[in-house]
Amino acid sequence: MTKVRKFFIAGILVVSSLAVLGFVRNPDIYFLIKKNFTIFSEVYREVSLHYVDEVNPEKLMRKGISAMLGSLDPYTVLIDEAQNQNMEIITRGSYGGVGMDVGYRGGKVVVIAPIEGYSAHRKGIRSGDVITEVNGVDVDDLKPEEVQNLTTGEPGTTVNLKIQRYGIDHPLTFELERQRVEVNNVNYTGFVGEQKDVGYILLNRFSQNTGEEIRRAIKNLESEKELSGLVLDLRNNPGGLLEEAVATVDKFVPADQMVVETRGRLNQHNSVFKTSESPMAPDLPLVVLQNGGSASASEIVAGALQDLDRAVILGEQSFGKGLVQTVRQLSYNTALKLTISRYYIPSGRSIQSVTYTHDDSNNAVVKPDSMRKAYKTRNGRTVYDGDGISPDVKVSAKKPSLLQTSLMQHNIFFEFANQYAAQHDSLSKEARSDQLYQDFLGFVEQRDFEYRLPSERYLSKIDSSLSDAQMPSDTHIQALRQKIQAHKKQAFERERTDLEEMLYLELITRYKGQKGQTEASLPFDRMVNRAIDVLKNSNRYTNILTVSN
């Protein structure tokens, strides 16, 4: 008997066993599952064995599974072995690896930052190192997450990395020992403001032990000095464990307060989550930062604190993910991440921004403003459902200019920092000097850096139209083109302050890592500065939380 046939017979037996054991809530659904499972297995077997061209049975099945789950929502997905590290990070807060973050720069896989205290950092791996091989495997055609997966494994085992470092002609080889890498949810804790009496906590995810890390962060801040307020930064935090979101709210809200309720098709998925501890900071003025990358558990925290009038939410509209997933383990080290319910925050509103039609196209339907329902916070402020969390104070992030974006896309800051780090053992106190900026401009010129303004594209179209019509190019066009080139050169001086800031932060990373970069960036952060202003103005802070809108 073929493996394919055994697989499907086993599946049918499981379905039949569930029915025999009385697990059936709706007999019709189990008949339909069995009937269509049989049809599907027969189609799969016939195609796999008899199609005119040889097919890969695993790829064929994965496409079928992907299409089936794609008709539900973007969050219900099959997790294969290669993706299990991410789930391990969320559920356990750790993974077996060498301790480094990797990403793309200039089409190459590079080390973004080694994690202090782990093998990569101890052996001398640096930010900016280009990874060329992992255990003899060429990584040129691999994605960063695939390279990261190659470096993970059982603690105590070793992995060999070959890297190319700026300023060194020959490749460097490192033998790194895998360790149990503890992933911090709180990535930075410190003080902001002129008096440095406002606490700041950067929370990047909600995996295991988030609540405990928040508790320690607050305790450490309060042990150093009396706080006049606290900024909790949830920007670009994609969420994670629901229980850890509740544990975070726990630190600021009295016990027995409803934080979130889940409602699903089955009663077993309906739950009410309440705070259970005495808060650490029940009266400490609190501002929560969010943006469009704040989702799921982040929105539970921001939404609950808003509905309970416990914190001022500042920044941009959040993502709007109000669907709850659970991970169900499957065979062969795979798992199914399955949406089982929706969650609702204390005012009773849902934050889910779209609904899915579940038809052939499975369109995501956004609820129009006219259909959004109004709810009330504890103090009577009006809030709305169906579009994430709206901030109490709207502040947009500073958008990079076309010049700045182009420099980043061409990895100019990144490569200049690599060159500087290769030539300097430490970051000079003159890191924002005129000489350094002139060196940077010289580096840009050496790279033959070019970028195009929209006006240049329009002129090119006009010029092309004139050529097609066999008309001479207008002298005015040539004059405009020269003015545009002059304008572009002047942009390096007009935007010098911003360019120096971006360059400085890239250089800081080479010597002080991600934490050093975060600390250095806070004085320039417009959202952080606005949060400090709100916290320092007690009347404004109170009015935001009490005045009905």
Residues acting as catalytic residues: 296, 307, 321
CB 302 within 8 A of CB 383: no
- How many C-beta atoms lie closer than 10 Å to residue 337's C-beta? 16
Strands 323-329 and 335-344: antiparallel
114 by Cβ neighbours in 10 Å (0-12 / 13-18 / 19+) ranks as buried
Grouping H, G, I as helix, E, B as strand and the rest as coil, residue 313 is strand
Element (H, E) at 103: strand 100-105
256 by Cβ neighbours in 10 Å (0-12 / 13-18 / 19+) ranks as exposed
The two structure tokens encoding residue 384: 């709305």
What's the DSSP call for residue 350? Answer: B
* Helix, strand, coil % over all residues of the chain, rounded to 5: 45, 20, 35
59 by Cβ neighbours in 10 Å (0-12 / 13-18 / 19+) ranks as exposed
Single out the residue of 154, 160, 104 nearest to residue 133, CA to CA.
160
The two structure tokens encoding residue 270: 């309906």
The two structure tokens encoding residue 98: 């060498």
Element (H, E) at 328: strand 323-329
Show the DSSP H helices in 309-364 as ranges: none
492 by Cβ neighbours in 10 Å (0-12 / 13-18 / 19+) ranks as middle
- How many C-beta atoms lie closer than 10 Å to residue 350's C-beta? 20
Grouping H, G, I as helix, E, B as strand and the rest as coil, residue 232 is strand
